[in-house]
Amino acid sequence: MPRLRLTTGQRGYGPEHQKLRKRLLPYAYGTPCPRCGKTMEVGQQLHLGHSDDRRSYTGMEHAECNLKAAVDMRRNAGKPRVHVDTKVQATRKTLRVNVDDL
C-alpha cells in the first residue's frame, strides 16, 4: 500500500514556520528549554515546537526534546490522556508510608 507523504507545509513546517524559527533562534540561547528545563546553548540544535494539537507554537526547544515529544505523542495516540498531579501523588505516598508504619 502506498504511503501518503505530506509536504513540509502540510506538516506545519512551511515558510512561515521556518521564518519564525529563524527569527526566534537568537533569543532562545541561554533560556530554558520548555520541555526539559535545561539551558539551550549556542551550537545545540533547536526546533520551534508545536503544541500537541499543532495549532500553536510552544517556543524554541532542544531538537532532541522536540523529537522525543513527537515520538511519545505518536506512541500515545488514541490512548486517553492521564493527568498526574505529582503533589497529590507525593501526599498519597506519604500517607501510605504512615499507614504501613502503624
Instruction: Tell me the C-alpha distance between 58 and 65, whole Å.
Output: 12
Return the number of the residue (28 or 33) whose C-beta is nearest Zn ion. 33
Return the number of the residue (28 or 65) whose C-beta is nearest Zn ion. 65
The residue within the footprint of Zn ion, chosen from 12, 29, 35, 58 (CB under 5 A), is 35
Binding span for Zn ion by CB under 5 A among 13-21, 29-37, 67-75, 91-99: 29-37
Rule CB under 5 A: say whether 34 interacts with Zn ion.
Answer: no
Residue-wise burial string across 3-42, b where 16 or more C-beta atoms lie within 10 A, e elsewhere: eeeeeeeeeebeeebeeebeeeeeebeeeebebeeeebee
The binding site for Zn ion (CB under 5 A) comprises 33, 35-36, 62, 65
